Structure 1
């Protein structure tokens, strides 16, 4: 195997490694499975995590490198607002670790944990955000932008259940 100079990715591959000069990369990292010409290490920690998320288990195996590359690590401090109800949606998030509250009309209606996701409704239906998401603890997420979501065809490739943030009356 040729010597390959690997460097940490600062954008896109959620901390996975990318080869600096892919002309020396092992042949099993095909250009067809890359995102924007970058070649992520599929068996990286982010790749292994995403394979365990139920939503992505339906994605064809060959699409996993593209998914890993499309994601960006985004972290939030406890109490920080991740998305705000009524705002336009520009991204979809997957919770890597920590907890987040789903708040509708000022009331908490759900708690999100590792492997949960949010923000898909705004992308699927081109609607404003239906809930506010607040970090309850230090929150580590993977973010997929609207452009990457659409370019990858995730709307068609994944089975998103119809979910609606419901206001609790009481």
Structure 2
């Protein structure tokens, strides 16, 4: 059954309403400031830091509301005989960071990007990988994206005493320290030092924001840097390629056939690649069905095994199935209904899969329609094997 058409005008009006709400309350600026403070402080417990940060904002907002009410009350008491006029709206005073911006990159920008390759030895590549392994801006990258980032990084040298970045200047590059040590100053006061393997300047990769601190070479320095333009074009090009590929995968998943294209693209944006080694269990019968998998690549023997579920007395029910490499959706109904796994999936020689733990952007009606149209109703086990799986016994 086809999904009901979405009225473009209603969708546009809803989107405009959200945009107006965000603009009215200055949400975008609040979140940008929050990210800036988070990256500067780099707390061990980021959730605690964020909670305290927003509590401070709430207290400041409450203080300003009380001050405004008190001011209005005093004004009313002194001007009772004067015809009331609408008061000028009080703009909430907020300490703003100057010139925060983020360039808009188009698909043409990503396509026109010429890949940069600056030769590096194995030791340097290993050091770079270690340096950015825990950095939030690089943690989500796959091997190909990281390789492109490393290839584009260029060498920078400074002698002791030189200023690498100056607080207040426009941010342009992100740096990883290969050799040497730097001191960090905020408003002229020493804050910390960063040594070999450390990194700084990551905010420049997100926004064209002024530098939040001054970094000065404590010793002679050898750095590796990458500019914002290269970073964002590499990621955008990779994102567009993945989005197109993932959308093609999802269009072949039976449970998602009835979704609109924009809904499949939203799901595609939520997919993340995961890799499984030889013999590693992907899903286990009886465990909560939290994740939805699409097997995209199986190495060497090109087969994954789905072990049949066991009956209450422990005997196996049904035949063992084998999955050829290619598009294969795994436990989609279990994931969407949040129920325990109906079977066990084991790998033969390792495989590469895409995973998501949610179906964002898809309305509840669309999700239920998927389940209904594929006969995955409550009380029924999911159809197996799924599309693209050979049905022969082993």
**TM category, shorter:** 0.5 to 0.7
Q: Say yes or no: does 1:65 pair with 2:282.
A: no
Distance 1:63 1:150, change over 3 A: closer
Distance 1:9 1:68, change over 3 A: farther
Instruction: Quote how far apart the aligned CAs of 1:144 are.
Output: 1.2
Match of 2:305 among 92, 101, 108: 101
Match of 1:111 among 316, 322, 326: 322
CA contact (8 A) 2:253 2:329 kept: no
Instruction: Quote how far apart the aligned CAs of 1:11 are.
Output: 3.7
Distance 1:63 1:155, change over 3 A: closer
CA contact (8 A) 2:263 2:361 kept: no
Question: For structure 2, which runs of at least 5 residues remain unmatched after alignment?
Answer: 1-104, 114-136, 146-204, 208-238, 385-394
Distance 1:111 1:61, change over 3 A: same
- 2:342 maps to which residue? 130
3-state SS, counterpart of residue 90 of structure 1: coil
Q: Distance in 1 between matches of 2:354 and 2:258?
A: 18
After superposition, residues 15-164 of structure 1 pair within 5 angstroms as: 40-41=239-240, 44-98=244-298, 99-103=303-307, 104-105=309-310, 109-113=320-324, 114-145=326-357, 148-149=358-359, 152-153=362-363, 155-156=367-368, 158=370, 159-162=373-376, 164=381
TM-score where L is the length of structure 1: 0.62
TM-score where L is the length of structure 2: 0.30
- 1:25 maps to which residue? none
- 2:123 maps to which residue? none
Select the structure that is richer in strand: 1
3-state SS, counterpart of residue 65 of structure 1: helix
Q: Distance in 2 between matches of 1:12 and 1:130?
A: 32
- 2:80 maps to which residue? none
Root mean square deviation, CA, Å: 4.0
Structure with greater Cα Rg: 2
Q: Distance in 1 between matches of 2:141 and 2:368?
A: 22
Distance 1:87 1:70, change over 3 A: same
CA deviations on 1:95-153 (whole Å, 9 max, x unpaired) are 112232111238552222321111223224332111111012321111110xx226534
Select the structure that is richer in helix: 2
- 1:28 maps to which residue? none
CA deviations on 1:54-103 (whole Å, 9 max, x unpaired) are 54443212223312211010111121111111111111111112232111
CA contact (8 A) 2:255 2:332 kept: no
CA contact (8 A) 1:96 1:141 kept: yes
Distance 1:164 1:149, change over 3 A: same
Instruction: Give the paired residue count.
Output: 146
Question: For structure 1, which runs of at least 5 residues remain unmatched after alignment?
Answer: 23-39
